[in-house]
Structure 1
């Protein structure tokens, strides 16, 4: 493995002791009623990072009751948008003041590189600020063309109590795509982070408290999906569930929530293609492909885990990506030069490797990587940057979400075949196209079955632009105006002006 760029040294020291985490319910920090705790071991360094209280039904019920009471008494839902925005802006400022503290703990819990953790935490402040802007500018409609004696008003009101369930791969960023928008809309919330990465969510409670968020408006319960998440999904007092995670779990949440017909928003998996036409800027495309597959160690729903390359340039383009991949800095996530860190768990690493082995057994060729790697001083929980070519569309590695630093290469002959391969998937989260011909790009963008289409770029995102998937990549949208509207109910108010309504029941007509 000497042809890979491996970094072993770190510029940051490990914490002296594990972080102790508790639930945050009705404005107070609580231990679990049964005293249960869970330790998170750093996938990169093997040390205990955090020791978190593990909740159950009792904690979930207490958090839901606090959120329900806080919503119903109007302490948050009925105050002005200006007052809500003021609190959200304070939270954004406090996030920026705590970037280093939050980024270090997130790097250790997830295994992602420290520079990416800093970008995630710092960037989340912008989500809070944008949600604050929407809180002040949200409005309904009026209809004064219904006749001289009628006026119609359409109100947008907060949906109520929202259960927020977040994943382990971007724990702070994805929370930022949900929580400030729900709060900005006037909802109250119960949050459950992944049991593998609870720390930055639990630490956020300190910032919410400092910013002046009223007790009960946001409650955080630590624990497993069962029982905590299940209770948050099925409870009668919860009006909406928003979840980011695997498609399999999203389907279970939809089934569980059906009993109360509560609203469900889901951001799920992806098998995202980048299509490269021969007239593309191939240097830029190769760099974007390399970034897209290795960012966050490939543990990203938006990972461009498959490329679809025109057959005339496939060999040369793949060689470019292989050459760039050898230069990607791989190893110790506490070094700011590292670009690819550790895999979140040993079990997940074995799953990634299984996809690669099965592809090889089916006739595919590994042209880089293809196995786990030990990094001196850090252990075995790393997977090599891997590129697999000779892949056919029927292989599992081309159809299923590998969720690791593994790129598959498919080829196409013309635009029709490129579109067919793009849409030949159960997922529809994102897609990309590379061509200097604007007509090619626009045609692809309109025909690709994906919630986001990037042209001549990859994974550029903004708080203003909605994000979400088609098909089995989810339902609903996050961020942007559309994401904000997910947390609102629409109510129509129809008013008659004056006593102009003719009586329906006629009196004095008896014979």
Structure 2
């Protein structure tokens, strides 16, 4: 334990009382219809940080009615791209203004480091600005080569009412990967944040109201997946569901949505590999591996939770990875120097530990960590940086999403073998390759079955580039122009010019 870089409790003060979170329905802040509420306890400090309204079926019904009315009456769907963009840009400016407040609540509810939270809020504001640019440039198609008397048009229209269900690990960033793109397209929305991290979405609602978004265009219902998320998913008033979270819940959403055949966009789990070839820049690769597995305490769909390293360099690479892992500051997320904070719940911490213990019992060797981490002065749950070697490809720790600061190490000898290992799980979210040979990188990028492939880097992201997975990592894409297209429907309009049509009946 003493070999690790542990950050003890900081001098930062907690808020005097919990954040009060209510539903936003048709422009009004409301308690639950039945008066129910729930508490969120900080995973790092053990104190109640949020008191939130607990939604039920009546709250969902009211929110969906408001979103449906707002869409059908054209309060948003029939506005110009310029008008939508103006609102989105104003919201981005308000997010920048409230960055510190949003970051603090995100840190208290999720356990992530405050410095990371601030960077994510800054990135979220950029997504709103990028979506604004899409609102101004969105267009359909015209076809004037169909004959001298025919003009064909393809209109791009908003999908309708969208149910947006977001996770706890990046609550503000992920709602900003969805909502501004839906709004740019002209959709209205009902948003359900995770019950573990509701506060920052409520703050976003405050900013939407301040910006003047018409009532009913964006509604927020707090609470649990059952009944809130389930009701939103199945309701026929919803034309589209977009969800980020576990693969198991994503499959349940597809089943629930099938009753009305609504569109479904899913960003789900991953078991993302980084493949390191002998000619890799080892210093850069080790740093990227350490970043990739410990960023957000490994509670990240893009976590590089397994590395596939060439046998010739495996021992040196693991030794350097373990050494660098010991230097990563774990501990109090309110300390600006902390890079890895708390685990979201005690139950999730136990799940992480079970994965590591089962791997060790099956013959894997734990080179570093492998258990809970005590942080002096804090009453939360933390897990040690953990490196597990001698992992076989058939072990659950090599195939299942651990969602914690746990790195699994596998080895290979040929590119063919490495590609087989990369594609040998049910997931296909992201993958990485490290080599100074551009031919190796390009061949790997073409053969890896993943929505994103990084070469000689890890987790660089840009608003302009689409993000999403293959196979059980999801369907559909977020970000980029593809992220806007998810919220649009194509409508064909065929126009005959003049009275030239040959009569069908003579």
User: Partners of 1:12 and 1:284 in 2: how far apart?
Assistant: 33
Q: CA deviation at 1:33?
A: 1.1
The residue aligned with 1:76 is: 76
Indicate if the aligned counterparts of 2:9 and 2:375 stay in contact, CA closer than 8 A.
Answer: no
Q: Deviations over 1:200-237 (max 9, x none)?
A: 00111110011110000000000100100011001110
User: Partners of 1:380 and 1:213 in 2: how far apart?
Assistant: 38
User: Partners of 1:113 and 1:141 in 2: how far apart?
Assistant: 46
Indicate if the aligned counterparts of 1:372 and 1:380 stay in contact, CA closer than 8 A.
Answer: no
**1:34-113 to 2 correspondence within 5 Å?**
34-113=34-113
Q: CA deviation at 1:9?
A: 3.1
Residue 143 of structure 2 is aligned to residue 137 of structure 1: no
The residue aligned with 1:148 is: 148
The residue aligned with 1:212 is: 212
Residue 195 of structure 2 is aligned to residue 189 of structure 1: no
Please give the TM-score of this superposition, normalised by the length of structure 1: 0.99
The residue aligned with 1:509 is: none
- SS in structure 2 at match of 1:168: coil
**1:161-200 to 2 correspondence within 5 Å?**
161-200=161-200
Indicate if the aligned counterparts of 1:281 and 1:436 stay in contact, CA closer than 8 A.
Answer: yes
Indicate if the aligned counterparts of 2:42 and 2:380 stay in contact, CA closer than 8 A.
Answer: no
Indicate if the aligned counterparts of 1:270 and 1:401 stay in contact, CA closer than 8 A.
Answer: yes
TM superposition outliers: structure 1 runs of 4+ over 4 Å: none
Between 9-18 and 217-226, the greater mean CA deviation after superposition: 9-18
- SS in structure 2 at match of 1:374: coil
The residue aligned with 1:308 is: 308
CA RMSD of aligned residues (A): 0.5
Q: CA deviation at 1:122?
A: 1.5
- SS in structure 1 at match of 2:167: coil
Q: Deviations over 1:104-150 (max 9, x none)?
A: 01001000000111111111000000000000000000000011111
The residue aligned with 1:351 is: 351
The residue aligned with 2:445 is: 445
**1:1-40 to 2 correspondence within 5 Å?**
1-40=1-40
User: Partners of 1:490 and 1:12 in 2: how far apart?
Assistant: 52
The residue aligned with 2:481 is: 481
User: Partners of 2:360 and 2:438 in 1: how far apart?
Assistant: 37
> Measured at CA, do residues 66 and 380 of structure 1 come closer, stay the same or move farther in structure 2, by a change above 3 Å?
closer
The residue aligned with 1:385 is: 385
Q: Deviations over 1:300-342 (max 9, x none)?
A: 0000000000000000000111010000001000000001110
Q: CA deviation at 1:380?
A: 5.0
User: Partners of 1:272 and 1:478 in 2: how far apart?
Assistant: 18
Q: CA deviation at 1:11?
A: 4.3
User: Partners of 2:146 and 2:122 in 1: how far apart?
Assistant: 49
User: Partners of 2:10 and 2:200 in 1: how far apart?
Assistant: 21
Q: CA deviation at 1:12?
A: 2.1
User: Partners of 1:373 and 1:334 in 2: how far apart?
Assistant: 17
Q: Deviations over 1:81-104 (max 9, x none)?
A: 000000000000000000100100
**1:489-504 to 2 correspondence within 5 Å?**
489-504=489-504
Indicate if the aligned counterparts of 1:76 and 1:214 stay in contact, CA closer than 8 A.
Answer: yes
User: Partners of 1:184 and 1:410 in 2: how far apart?
Assistant: 44
Q: Deviations over 1:169-190 (max 9, x none)?
A: 0000000000000000000000
Indicate if the aligned counterparts of 1:11 and 1:336 stay in contact, CA closer than 8 A.
Answer: no
User: Partners of 1:86 and 1:105 in 2: how far apart?
Assistant: 27
The residue aligned with 1:320 is: 320
Residue 289 of structure 2 is aligned to residue 285 of structure 1: no
The residue aligned with 2:253 is: 253
The residue aligned with 2:222 is: 222
Please give the TM-score of this superposition, normalised by the length of structure 2: 1.00
Indicate if the aligned counterparts of 1:477 and 1:486 stay in contact, CA closer than 8 A.
Answer: yes
- SS in structure 1 at match of 2:116: helix
Gap runs ≥5 in structure 1:
507-511
Indicate if the aligned counterparts of 1:388 and 1:407 stay in contact, CA closer than 8 A.
Answer: yes
User: Partners of 1:21 and 1:328 in 2: how far apart?
Assistant: 34
- SS in structure 2 at match of 1:75: coil
Indicate if the aligned counterparts of 1:277 and 1:434 stay in contact, CA closer than 8 A.
Answer: yes
Indicate if the aligned counterparts of 1:373 and 1:380 stay in contact, CA closer than 8 A.
Answer: no
The residue aligned with 1:365 is: 365
Indicate if the aligned counterparts of 2:40 and 2:50 stay in contact, CA closer than 8 A.
Answer: yes
- SS in structure 2 at match of 1:191: strand
Q: Deviations over 1:433-459 (max 9, x none)?
A: 000000000000000000000000000
User: Partners of 2:11 and 2:187 in 1: how far apart?
Assistant: 42
The residue aligned with 2:117 is: 117
